[in-house]
Amino acid sequence: MTDQIPRRTACFPISVVQELTSLSARQIRYYEQQGLIFPKRNEGNQRLFSLNDIDRCAEIKKLIDQGLNIAGVKTVLSARKQLEQAKVQSSNSIVRNQDMTKLQRYINESKG
């Protein structure tokens, strides 16, 4: 067993998120309502947050503190997500191209 909690494991109640981010429970619930965060729920329907969720709340707070409204925050977060997806696709494409180059080299060598 590792000494660290996986970042995606939902195990923190809203009170911990409030303490770590200086956000109110109302703000956190509003971010959820707006589709900016997606905390899990336990059997008692209590919100449980992961470390990733806490980071996301802090990021949202920072953007709002910089003067963005919720629509602006959504735009920034969406753009960041698209950029990350493009990076992954580009990386996958590079790997596929390298694999194709190796395959072509192997084919050429086996003909010779």
SS3 for the chain, per residue? CCCCCCCCCCCECHHHHHHHHCCCHHHHHHHHHCCCCCCEECCCCCEEECHHHHHHHHHHHHHHHCCCCHHHHHHHHHHHHHHHHHHHHHHHHHHHHHHHHHHHHHHHHHHC
pTM of the model: 0.72
Residue 92: is its pLDDT beyond 90?
no
Q: Which CATH class is domain 1-67?
A: mainly alpha
Residue 73: is its pLDDT beyond 90?
yes
